[in-house]
Amino acid sequence: EMSSFETLEAAGFVKTSCVLRDKFCGIAQDALKELSEAILHDAQGQKTVKVGANGNAETISAKSTFVDSSNIGVKISGITFLSPRGKFDVEIRAESLKLSSKGAEVGTFWRNVEDFILVPLPSGTAKVKTFVAALVLNEPIQHGKSQLSYLVLQSKETDQAQATVVEPWAQEKLGGAVLTSSPHDLLSNIAQKVAGKSVLKNNPYTFISVGTSAAIKCNIKSVHDGFLFPLDKGLFFVQKFLFIKKNEVT
């Protein structure tokens, strides 16, 4: 339940917040009823515990389920992500991307990326803008004990990152062997030219605040404070990341 939905309702963006709240409560209840087993990873990700409907636990061996053995097309080092949280090296392949660090790795195929969102956070009086880039996933991916529905980074327009383009096919698509730009622009460029993903940005004709911002202050259940971005395809909430498509709001 979001305290700022009244503002959007007055602007004609949504009809009611109650329907949305009831819908997600219903989905959560149905999921709990149908859940018969859970997979829990240990701290090293080397084994899982399978908990059946009868309550019995069985330890089974497991490692990362993501595998793409094709050649790496693009490498980017030391990018800070918010989801998963930490600094990761990014490996881009023709069909996938993978984030790697000393303690963890997580990856997904491009076909599992439904949307790529790039929005500027409200900056107030600050002269340097900060952007959030989010890959919205069709199916959540496992990361330790958590499941991720979004891969999200945040960077300032003055931040610099360098991408090494290894494979000839990637050099042809990206126009060079070395690319230097802000992290959010690099990932946006790669998502468009390598994976063919369109980038969903704020459209001032869809929404702009009185203070000429792309978002409004908002909270979820009076706990998670952040910003709500009305976009052409739906509502994107930052800091507890959530993307709600227009067709899911009735």
Q: Tens digit of pLDDT for each residue in 54-96?
A: 444 443 333 456 889 999 999 999 999 999 999 999 999 999 9
CB 219 within 8 A of CB 205: no
How many angstroms separate the CA atoms of 173 and 163, rounded? 13
Mean pLDDT on 29-49: 39
Q: pLDDT-based confidence at 144, cuts 50/70/90? A: confident
Q: How far from 78 is each of 84, 89, 152, 228, CA to CA, in Å?
A: 14, 5, 14, 28
DSSP the chain: -BTTHHHHHHTTS-S-HHHHHHHHHHHHHHHHHH---EEEE-TTSSEEEEE-TTS-EEEEE--------SPP-EEEEEEEEEETEEEEEEEE-SSEEEEE-SS-EEEEEGGGEEEEEEEEPP-TT-SS-EEEEEEEEEEEEEETTEEEEEEEEEEETT--EEEEE-SHHHHHHHTSSEEEE-HHHHHHHHHHHTT-PPEEE--TTT---TTS-S-EEEEETTTEEEEEEEETTEEEEETTTEEEEGGG--
* Per-residue model confidence as pLDDT tens digits over 85-128: 999 999 999 999 999 998 789 999 999 999 999 999 988 777 89
List, in sequence order, every residue forming a beta bridge with 148; answer none if it has no partner: 141
Distance CA 121, CA 131 (A): 6
Distance (Å, rounded) from C-alpha 141 to C-alpha 131? Answer: 24
Confidence at residue 26, expressed as pLDDT on a 0 to 100 scale: 53
Question: Shortest CA distance to 95 belongs to which of 119, 128, 76, 71?
Answer: 71
Query: Residue 192 is which amino acid?
Result: Q
pLDDT above 50: residue 52: no
pTM over 0.85: no
* Residue 29 confidence class, pLDDT cut points 50, 70, 90: low
Give the span between the Cα atoms of 86 and 104, in whole angstroms: 10
